[in-house]
Amino acid sequence: MILEFDLGNTRCKWRLRDAQAAIVRGHLFTTGHFSELDISLSLYQSEIKSVWCVSVVSETKEQELVDWCKSFLNITPRFARAVKACGGVINGYTEPSKLGADRWLGIVSAHNHFLGPLMLVSFGTAVTVDLVSMNGRHLGGFIAPGVNLMLDSLASRTSRIAIDNFFEVTSLQVGITTNEAVYAALTVMLVGLIDSGAAQLHKMEIEKNIDVVFTGGDAGKFLSLYPEAKLMPDLVLDGLDYVINDPKNAER
């Protein structure tokens, strides 16, 4: 069995799988400790043979995972990093290693799934939009604050704007309450970001069908505005298989 981790800014997603399918999965907050998984994984402890990870957290947090894996499983985890090329994808960054590893795995996974031009939108702590050409070239992307970051910024930097914590995509029209006005503005800003990415990709991939791929914790909230989008919640974890199994591109 393989234990996989996606160590994000807010949450650490994990799943345990065999060669065919996921067996058990879950998440913990990044501020938590990996020992919280001991009970969930104790039944499979002796059967776990590898630990694969993608990470955007600090080296200190990564070391916590390494220490837990060695203590609980007697396994040293392997971390996937962004590189110049992997899985038929060419990294579009001028310094390939600077591309976020989670974005890289999502791009590689999506390209291998759809095999055509695509726009990948990840709705997490940050919202990222990445464009990939027909031949697998990463064309670059956008990075913006995610929904909760924008809401937190308004709440902490203003004194008279009271906002409900739960964000819902309700309308692109102007609001007649504070919540409606804030939510509509955030929706309009993110829709503008996504539509701009799509327009640029259409100019580069003329007369080709373009797949729109959504992933990340808030992705489901935007599906009503993009019914053509494919929701792939495990996209980053799925990318581990491509990167870890490429001997040139995985950290040993």
DSSP state of 99: S
Residue 159, CA distances (Å) to 114, 185, 218 in order: 47, 19, 27
H/E stretch holding 196: helix 178-204
**11-17/2-7 β-pairing:** antiparallel
Q: Give the C-alpha separation, 3 to 46, whole Å.
A: 12
Tokens of 165: 């914590």
**CA proximity to 195, closest of 133, 124, 129, 139:** 129
In contact, 121 and 214? CB cutoff 8 Å? yes
From 6, 102, 211, 218, the catalytic residue: 102
Q: Say how many C-beta atoms besides its own lie within 10 A of residue 162's C-beta.
A: 11
Q: Give the C-alpha separation, 136 to 128, whole Å.
A: 18
Active site residue 241: no
Which residues on adjacent β-strands are paired with residue 101?
none
**CA proximity to 125, closest of 9, 251, 236:** 9
Tell me the catalytic residues: 102
